[in-house]
């Protein structure tokens, strides 16, 4: 690189930094696609390399994402990273930035994300064990407004005032002193000319500052109204029909005509693990009832699912969806579930064969305590949270390798869970929705939620969409006909439901080969995760055995990082 190019890039980065600072003025607002759990964590096998990847995107865009790669296996010489945006694809992507080795097997870099929306980080790993590429989906969204520090504001105001005074003085001096020729006496009206020049200069500066202030306000409003991410709104309710409770989820498009950010491309939803929507219900405040449902799409705005025999009460609802451009988001609402005596026949009428549910003890209640949970008719407690838990088929799920009773916020962990049969022997697990298992983690107040997979915190559908976009040579992406696309997706999802379990898992595994994550032992499932905040958390771990979905539940406490 020649010195001129280096200086040009340096000036560009300083301009970007200044622009980001201007856009970030305001006050804090924290939201994210996974509620309260920003960033992406990925654990992948790429050729001979096993990698643990963490990407923390910026909360203002343009901004820098912190990329960290732990090389758990393989000999690496260099790692490059570059952002690739869905809109512009591979043709519009910048060149790779090289990650720096900061510790044994840990590489880091700050990567600029210049555009909001769905994007990915392409990692290129090179070394004696070959060259590999890994795609990490990242939602580059602005989620924060910040206040300018008071000291900085006063300092800038003082410097600005000084500059105005100096500029006005210079203009006045040039207007007066410029008429005096060398060797001639100064005109009598020299002072008047100086004052007139200073007045005219001040008026021009005021006009310039007024225009600049208008631009500043307009830019800030545009950032707030168009760039700042706001999740789509849903309205959830429960309707009772034929002695069966139905969960109704409706997308609220009120006002979407005025706000283009709310014009979600609802017809362009993609199935993730073969499901258009993953809905998680958690009863509050005890978090003692849980359901993982897959509502059917009735039309573009409405989804519906039959509720399992959950106890009545107030539930938090987290609904995960993925769009054609790879953008993923979690839609939230609260819903009141009425108490209703459910017959065995009605309870068997689930919307989806992969739906699952669990009723257990409230969070914090120890096994053998007097205040055991009160259950409605036909409900049973399937196990008690702890270091191990009895599952409903008689097997036991154990939390393996837990470092201690209290974990640290912000620290990367691999959460490992194993299943043993009634005789204490290894119990082989089957694929559940094409993967070794699923997990949901919720903070006790509901402010943190994450849907985990063995490969990490991202979506299979998002990875597939972004990988295909990178392979596309077109500079811009053109969406297909909305109705035709929606109908074809509905037909695909319906077809999957009719397939035998083995064939369905084969189809899903083929469609998400990038998320293949073979467990080291056939009775264990593991999830990489970093708890974002201190607090008490409940973890639901879901696996499949002998054709049945089994759910284990574990509690843990997380404290602030000791570093």
Q: Do residues 435 and 544 touch, judged by C-beta distance below 8 A?
A: no
Query: Which residues contact residue 503 at a Cβ distance below 8 angstroms, ignoring those fewer than 6 apart?
Result: none
What are the φ/ψ torsions at residue 225 (nearest 5 degrees)? -90, -25
Of the residues 227, 261, 293, which one is the last residue of a structural domain?
227
Sheet holding 396-400, edge to edge: 388-390, 396-400, 413-420, 524-529
551 and 410 together in one domain:
yes
531 alpha-carbon distance from chain centroid: 14
Total structural domains within the chain: 4
Residues 495 and 349 in one domain: yes
264 and 290 part of one domain: yes
- Name the band, by pLDDT with cuts 50, 70 and 90, for residue 467: confident
More confident residue, 274 or 521: 274
Q: The pTM is what?
A: 0.79
Q: Are 374 and 355 part of one and the same domain?
A: yes
Say yes or no: 351 and 310 in one domain. yes
Query: Is 435 contained in some domain?
Result: yes
Question: Which of 469, 470, 450, 447 minimizes the C-alpha distance to 459?
Answer: 450
Q: Give the list of residues 6+ apart from residue 253 with CB closer than 8 angstroms, or none.
A: 262, 263, 264, 266, 301
In this prediction, residues 385-398 reach a mean pLDDT of 83
**Is residue 537 one of the residues assigned to a domain?**
yes
Residue pair 278/432 in contact (Cβ under 8 Å)? The answer is no
208 within a domain of the structure (yes/no) = yes
Tokens of 316: 């938090």
- Final residue in a domain of this structure, among 140, 161, 183: 140
pLDDT at position 518 over 90: no
| Same-domain status, 223 and 178 | yes
The reply to whether 266 and 396 lie within a common domain is: no
Would you say residue 2 has pLDDT above 60? no
Percent of the chain whose predicted confidence (pLDDT) is above 90: 37
Q: 161 in a domain, yes or no?
A: yes
How do residues 283-293 score in pLDDT, each as one tens digit?
999 999 999 99
State whether 250 and 344 are in the same domain: yes
pLDDT digits (tens, 9 = 90+) for 301-353: 999 999 998 999 999 999 999 999 888 889 999 999 998 776 655 555 677 88
Give the pLDDT mean for 467-481: 84
* 483-492 tens-digit pLDDT: 999 999 999 9
Same domain (yes/no): 220, 275: no
| Torsions phi, psi for 53 (to 5 deg) | -120, 135
**Average of per-residue pLDDT values in the chain:** 81
Q: Specify whether 357 is located in the same domain as 255.
A: yes
Q: What is the CATH number of the domain that holds 390?
A: 2.60.40.1930
For residue 487, the domain's CATH number is: 2.60.40.1220
* pLDDT value at residue 262: 47
Q: State both tokens at 515.
A: 């998320």
Residue 527: Cβ within 10 Å count:
26
Q: Which of 196, 227, 258 is the last residue of a domain?
A: 227
pLDDT tens figures, 493-503: 999 989 998 88
383: pLDDT strictly greater than 50 = no
Residue 508 host element (H or E):
helix 501-511
Asked whether residue 316 is assigned to any structural domain, the reply reads yes
C-alpha–C-alpha distance, residues 105 and 74, integer Å: 10
Least confident of 122-136, 252-266, 542-556: 252-266
What does the block give as tokens for 75?
Answer: 């000999």
In which domain, by residue range, is 51 found? 12-140
Are 294 and 305 within 8 A, CB to CB?
Answer: yes
pLDDT at 431 over 60: yes
Are β-strands 296-297 and 302-306 bridged in parallel, bridged antiparallel, or unpaired?
Answer: antiparallel
Q: Is residue 467 part of a domain?
A: no
CB 346 within 8 A of CB 334: no
In a domain, 469, yes or no: no
Please indicate, yes or no, if residue 242 is contained in any of the structural domains.
yes
- Tokens linked to 73: 């296996």
Residue 379 pLDDT exceeds 70: no
Judgement on whether residues 361 and 386 belong to the same structural domain of the protein: no
Q: Residue 213 — very low, low, confident or very high, per pLDDT cuts 50/70/90?
A: confident
Residues 391 and 538 in one domain: yes
pLDDT of residue 458: 83
């Amino acid at each position: 690189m020649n010195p001129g190019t280096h200086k040009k890039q340096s000036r560009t980065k300083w301009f970007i930094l200044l622009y980001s600072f201007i856009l970030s003025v305001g006050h804090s607002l924290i939201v994210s696609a996974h509620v309260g759990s920003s960033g992406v964590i990925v654990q992948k096998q790429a050729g001979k390399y096993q990698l643990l990847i963490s990407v923390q995107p910026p909360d203002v865009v343009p901004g820098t994402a912190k990329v960290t790669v732990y090389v758990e296996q393989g000999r690496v010489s260099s790692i490059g990273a570059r952002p690739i945006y869905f809109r512009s694809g591979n043709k519009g992507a910048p060149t790779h930035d090289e990650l720096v080795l900061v510790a044994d097997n840990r590489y880091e870099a700050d990567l600029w994300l210049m555009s909001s929306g769905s994007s990915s980080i392409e990692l290129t790993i090179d070394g004696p064990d070959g060259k590999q590429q890994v795609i990490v989906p990242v939602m580059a969204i602005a989620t924060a407004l910040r206040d300018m520090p008071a000291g900085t504001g006063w300092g800038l105001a003082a410097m600005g005032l000084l500059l105005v005074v100096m500029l006005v003085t210079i203009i006045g001096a040039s207007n007066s002193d410029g008429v005096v020729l060398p060797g001639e006496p100064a005109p009598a009206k020299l002072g008047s000319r100086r004052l007139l020049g200073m007045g005219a200069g001040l008026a021009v500066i005021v006009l310039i500052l007024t225009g600049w202030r208008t631009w500043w306000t307009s830019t800030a409003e545009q950032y707030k109204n168009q760039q700042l991410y706001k999740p789509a709104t849903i309205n959830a309710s429960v309707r009772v029909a034929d002695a069966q409770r139905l969960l109704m989820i409706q997308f609220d498009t009120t006002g979407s005509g005025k706000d283009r950010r709310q014009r979600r491309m609802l017809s362009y939803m993609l199935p993730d693990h073969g499901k258009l929507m993953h809905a998680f219900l958690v009863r509050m405040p005890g978090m003692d009832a849980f359901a993982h449902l897959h509502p059917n799409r009735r039309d573009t705005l409405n989804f519906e699912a039959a509720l399992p025999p959950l106890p009545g009460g107030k539930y938090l609802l987290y609904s995960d969806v993925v769009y054609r451009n790879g953008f993923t988001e979690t839609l939230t609402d609260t819903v009141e579930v009425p108490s209703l005596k459910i017959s065995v026949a009605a309870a068997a009428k689930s919307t989806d064969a992969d739906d699952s549910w669990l009723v257990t003890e409230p969070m914090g209640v120890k096994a053998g305590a007097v205040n055991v949970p009160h259950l409605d008719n036909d409900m049973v407690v399937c196990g008690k949270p702890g270091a191990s838990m009895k599952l409903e088929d008689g097997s036991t799920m154990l939390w393996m390798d837990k470092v201690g009773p209290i974990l640290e916020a912000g620290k990367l962990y691999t959460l490992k869970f194993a299943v043993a049969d009634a005789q204490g022997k290894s119990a082989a697990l089957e694929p559940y929705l094409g993967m070794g298992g699923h997990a949901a983690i919720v903070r006790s107040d509901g402010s943190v939620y994450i849907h985990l997979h063995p490969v990490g915190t991202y979506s299979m559908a998002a990875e597939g969409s972004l990988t295909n976009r990178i392979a596309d040579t077109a500079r811009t992406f053109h969406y297909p006909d909305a109705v035709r696309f929606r109908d074809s997706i509905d037909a695909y999802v319906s077809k999957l439901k009719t397939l035998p379990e083995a064939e369905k898992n084969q189809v899903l595994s083929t469609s998400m080969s990038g998320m293949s994550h073979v467990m080291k032992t056939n009775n264990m499932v593991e999830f990489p995760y970093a708890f974002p905040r201190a607090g008490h958390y409940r973890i639901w771990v879901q696996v499949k055995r002998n054709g049945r979905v089994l759910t284990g539940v574990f509690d843990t406490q997380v404290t602030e990082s000791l570093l």
